[in-house]
Amino acid sequence: MTGVSRPGSLPLNVAATATGTRALGPGVRSAVWVQGCPFDCAGCVAPDWIPDRPARAVTPEVLAEELCADPAVEGLTFSGGEPMAQAAGLAELIRLARLRRPELSLVCFTGYRLQRLRAAAPSPGVTDLLAAVDVLIDGRYVAALNDDRGLRGSSNQRIHHLTDRLRGEADYFDGPRRAEIRLGTRDVLVVGVPPRGLLDAVDTALNGPPRSGAGSAVAAPGGRPAESVETGDQR
């Protein structure tokens, strides 16, 4: 079924996408990471996606077609960056995706608390997006509270089942972390909430052990920083 974008629909500013992942929610999913975040959490695993700068401009209609192309996909996951900063575009994206696939579930990460989003929306479209979300994972990343468990970066972040669609998947959200490493021609994409030590291990595999006194940062072959994808919680 072909959806039609609403008049005046603006392009999303997208940092990355991934399809066919099992690391960002139950089942086979497609994921979108938006560019730009108002938070600057210490230890954010995707610092390149914090600045509000142009990345990939894509309309919700085109992105819906892309994310739903694989018939095995059972749901979408929105992360970033900060999804609520582009809530109107993401609300339109899930609307169009569900015109094609009504059964799709939606998991969304945000650095905002749910109460704040309901009381004082930080951008247009937040109410519409929340109405479409099945599971919201809220709160900023706090490195000292990273307990290496669940589909969240730190234990202060909360998992809200806004519908019953994924309520039976509690073990997935609270259980061991999952991550996938995807090698591109010029970068490395780590999909999921990385278990502690994973990014350092990827860095060492690509670049060798760090020199004495040198910091460690995941980098792709040729020295280009890797796109180390987080799930919206370590921001």
The domain limits of the chain are 12-179
- For residue 59, which amino acid is it? T
Tens-digit pLDDT profile for residues 135-193: 999 999 998 999 988 899 999 999 999 999 999 998 899 888 888 888 777 777 888 88
- Residue 2: the pLDDT is 44
User: ∠ CA(28), CA(34), CA(38), 5° rounding?
Assistant: 135
Contact 90, 77 (CB under 8 A): no
Is the predicted pLDDT of residue 202 greater than 90, yes or no?
A: no
- Residue 3: the pLDDT is 47
Percentage of the chain modeled with pLDDT above 70: 83
Region 186-203: mean pLDDT is 75
Tens-digit pLDDT profile for residues 9-54: 689 999 999 999 999 999 999 999 999 999 989 888 888 999 999 9
The CATH classification number of 12-179 equals 3.20.20.70
Q: Alpha-carbon torsion 38, 42, 44, 49, what sign? A: positive
- Residue 50: the pLDDT is 95
Under DSSP, is residue 202 helix (H, G, I), strand (E, B) or coil?
A: helix
Alpha-carbon torsion, ordered 93, 53, 113, 119, to 10 deg: -80
d(CA 111, CA 39): 7
- For residue 61, which amino acid is it? E
89-122 per-residue burial string, b: 16 or more CB within 10 A, e: under 16: bbbbbbbbbbeebeebbbbbbbbbbbeebeeebe
